[in-house]
Amino acid sequence: MPTQPFSRRTLSVLLASALLAASASSQAHGPTRQKVSEKVTIEAPADAVWAKVKNFNALKEWHPAVADSPADKGNAEGSVRTVKLKDGGTLIETLESYDDAQKKYSYRAKDGGALPVTNYTSTLSVVADGGKSVVEWRGAFYRGFPNNNPPPELNDEAALKAVTGVYRGGLAHLKKMMESK
């Protein structure tokens, strides 16, 4: 028995249903990966700036919000750093890569700890620019609430604000320290 083509009305209903389903699924995709990149130019040689920031366990030496930052294996890949903040928060970070020659290291934190983020990765690098240095601190992460409709303190805006604040505060203090020598 031959099949009859769909009527115009049936096609319209099917198309509208498909569009509605596609629209609903696009609203339910969950969080997207956020990125932050902050740079500062410091009036000091790259070797001097790198000497200040290169040790994975020395974050407390140049970041004003950090009370302590011991790392169990120093600059060896896999080293775990416990960052204790002056306000009482804690972050646990693992060194993923370290390149002394390139003046760069990367680390990760599965749980943001004191930050409203998850699956956080970050890279700190120092690049020579004549007699100056450009320090870049960049990271990627998801907001602290993995599902739809996050509370305000765990949404994308809160995550971006927190990480941006950490990076800007640290880089501004590093610049001040290095340029006041």
Instruction: Say what the pLDDT of residue 18 is.
Output: 57
Topology at the third CATH level for domain 34-179: Alpha-D-Glucose-1,6-Bisphosphate; Chain A, domain 4 (3.30.530)
Distance of alpha carbon 84 from alpha carbon 79, whole angstroms: 16
Q: What is the pLDDT of residue 57?
A: 97
For the chain, give the mean pLDDT.
90
Half-sphere exposure of 38 (CA within 13 A, CB side): 18
Write the pLDDT tens digit of every residue in 6-38.
Answer: 566 665 655 555 555 554 444 556 789 999 999
- Tell me the pTM: 0.83
Domain ranges of the chain: 34-179
